[in-house]
Amino acid sequence: RPLGANQAVQHRLADAKVELSAAEELAAEAWATDTSFAAAAAKGMASKALNTVAAHGQQVLGGIGYTWEHSWRHPLRRGMFLSVLLGSADECDTEIGGALIRSGIIRLGSLTGGPA
């Protein structure tokens, strides 16, 4: 049977595709609006997609994905390097939260239960 006939593999690949598509859409939106908020959202989603694709892809590939001969390691290593260089998903989430608070869209008191 082909590897893709396995339902667990199909689900992992579908999850990865959904996250990649979301990251692509946010990147297009960031490009069109040219705002730091949109850029942080796109980068955060891209980092999350990288984590999902890396985990699921490695599990689907098994041990062969760790070898020097397999092409999987090139985009994976590049993505991990860029995630460290440009900021992790958590760092982007922090930047987005700060931007929402600074803009007044979210009031800190409403999150802590205090006066808004």
Find the CATH number of the domain harbouring 64: 1.20.140.10
Find the domain containing 107 and state its range: 3-112
Count of domains forming the chain: 1
pTM over 0.85: no
pLDDT digits 0-9 by tens, 53-87? 988 888 888 877 777 788 888 888 888 888 888 88
Helix residue spans in 1-116 (DSSP H): 7-33, 36-61, 73-86, 89-103, 108-112
